[in-house]
Chains A and B, each alone.
Chain A
Amino acid sequence: MGFQINCPNCGLRDVYEFKFGGEAKERPGPDADIRRWRHYIYFNKNANGLHEEWWYHTAGCQSWIKITRDTATNRVSEGENI
């Protein structure tokens, strides 16, 4: 089985309704050098466990949400509307 995501607007919905937006990362400042930007864009913590991530609810409210999910179990905690 896949899993479900708790959308703050639409409630518990199947994961296939969403588009994955990647890990929530800290954006470098405007004066950061190209190396830092490339690190920000291409590199990931890729945690085996809890991490914060972005999702776009394509087949629902069409808004971006940030959730905390355990990648080892795919258990999702509360979503946050952005």
Chain B
Amino acid sequence: MALKKPLWKFCEPNRSYDAVVIGGGLHGMAAAYYLARDFGMTNVAVLDRRRMGYGGSSRNTEVIRANQRAPEILPLYVQSIRLWNELSAEVEWNFMVWMKGLIGLAHNAAGVNSMRMRHATQTNLGIENHILSPEELKKLIPALDTSRSAAIPIAGGYYHPPGGTVHHDAAVWGLMKGLHRHGVHLCPGVDVRSISIKNGRVNGVEAKVGGNKITISAPLIHMALGGWSSEVAAMAGITLPVVTLPLQAMVTECVKPFLNHVVVSELYFCYCQQSIKGDLIMGAHLDPWQSYRSYNTYEFAAEQAYFMLQLFPDLAHLKLMRSWSGLCDMTVDGAPIMGALPIEGLFIDAGWGYFGFKASPACGKNMAELIATGRTPEKITFLGMERFYEGRMVPEVYIARS
């Protein structure tokens, strides 16, 4: 039966708002959602040059977890997992949150040490995590090659129960539904060309819609642009400590369910999970050079397939169905940039690299609080851009590195 009312609608932007979010990805939409939900700010528009969820929001591999290294950010991920679990009921839309658990593999002494260090940090913060021997790993994942005869045998691993997956398209649609319900304007096809600043504070944006130039005035502007952050920040005269690198991922044909967890190999820098449909989603390869062009290379597919066969020899002859790539805005310390900028009324949520998906609801919630109240929430105090000038890096660990 067809729905009588649409779940969301798109519109052309008005000429004035209380706040404008540039970037219609998960981070931007989550910020607008919590602005409306927690602070009653509904005279808000989310602008996107292309369509909602065009960038990293629909190009990630859907993994959520709370096990990165830096204790400064871990509470943000814990909050995020809680919010992912709340959103389905709140928006009355299935986000397909699947808390299947995440298993990490270490292949040498250095890997095991790094794993133990992160285990200690997580335990301190009350995040559940278990260190496993190769035998215990074999029990959890029978298809895993834990033999001593492997090219680089598995030395140990961890089981991180708060890890899992969220369907990324469902997340985009769910937030669109939530925003529409609160009366927030969703405006795709709005290409912001300049940010106007008067006496040290923002007062709006100029944008192109179709062939027309329009001016939208707003005292608060939030930039959540993922890989395109530098381009828009430059409109406000701000240089960011990020580079945009391309990340590749791929998916195989569907097979019978055999993999119940997300599996990450920290030596091979690859991870794999089986979707409900049965296909294996695997990634990721970060090409270490700047590029705004999305492309896929044979090198990536060959390397990824080789790594997968080291872990799961039974996957030989499985066909690759698709591969894709997205843009990652990488900072030098591997941690994001979140907070207010030196121009009054201008906010940024960027530098999330290849791991922004899992954090999106918590980023939205904290940024919304900052935008609405002007006070920086505790969870993002360490993430301001000023840290790069002050030499206060947040030591985050890289998983995907080529």
Which residues of A approach B to under 8 Å, CB–CB? 1-3, 15-16, 19-20, 22-23, 34-35, 38-39, 41-48, 51, 53, 71-74
Contact = CB atoms under 8 A, between A and B. Distances in A.
Interface string B329-372: 10110000000000000000000000000000000000000000
Given A16-B297, A74-B291, 5 more contacts: A2-B295, A38-B391, A44-B240, A71-B290, A73-B293
Interface in B366-402: 388-389, 391
Given A38-B388, A48-B231, A71 B287 contact: no
B288 interface: yes
A26 B186 CA distance: 41
Contacts of B239: 39, 43-45
Contacts of A44: 230, 239-243, 290
Interface string B223-234: 000001011001
Nearest to B229: A46
A32 to B, nearest CB: 13
B389 A45 contact: no
B61 interface: no
Nearest to A36: B389
A34 to B, nearest CB: 8
A71 B291 contact: yes
9 contacts: A19-B288, A20-B290, A23-B290, A39-B389, A42-B332, A46-B230, A47-B230, A51-B290, A71-B291
Contacts, number: 72
Contact of B289 (A15, A34, A35): A15
A38 B297 CA distance: 34
Given A46-B244, A48-B231, A20 B289 contact: yes
B89 to A, nearest CB: 40
Contacts of A43: 239-241, 388
A42 B290 contact: no
Contacts of A53: 289-290
Nearest to B390: A38
B54 to A, nearest CB: 15
Contacts of A22: 243
B295 to A, nearest CB: 6
Contacts of B230: 44-48
B10 interface: no
Interface residues of B, number: 27
A48 B246 CA distance: 13
Contacts of A72: 292-293
Nearest to B331: A42
A2 B241 contact: no
A71 B244 contact: yes
B242 A46 contact: yes
Contacts of A42: 241, 331-332, 388
B185 to A, nearest CB: 26
Contacts of B92: none
A54 to B, nearest CB: 10
Contacts of A3: 295
A15 B288 CA distance: 11
Given A1-B297, A2-B299, A39-B389, A46 B243 contact: yes
Contacts of B332: 41-42
B292 A71 contact: yes
A74 B293 contact: yes
Nearest to A51: B290
A35 B389 contact: yes
B386 to A, nearest CB: 10
Q: Which of A19, A23, A46, A71 has the most CB of B within 10 A?
A: A46
Given A42-B388, A44-B230, A2 B243 contact: no
Contacts of B299: 2, 16
A25 B228 CA distance: 20
6 closest Cβ contacts across the A-B interface?
Answer: A46-B230, A20-B289, A42-B241, A2-B297, A48-B292, A42-B388
A22 to B, nearest CB: 8
Contacts of A51: 290
A19 B291 CA distance: 14
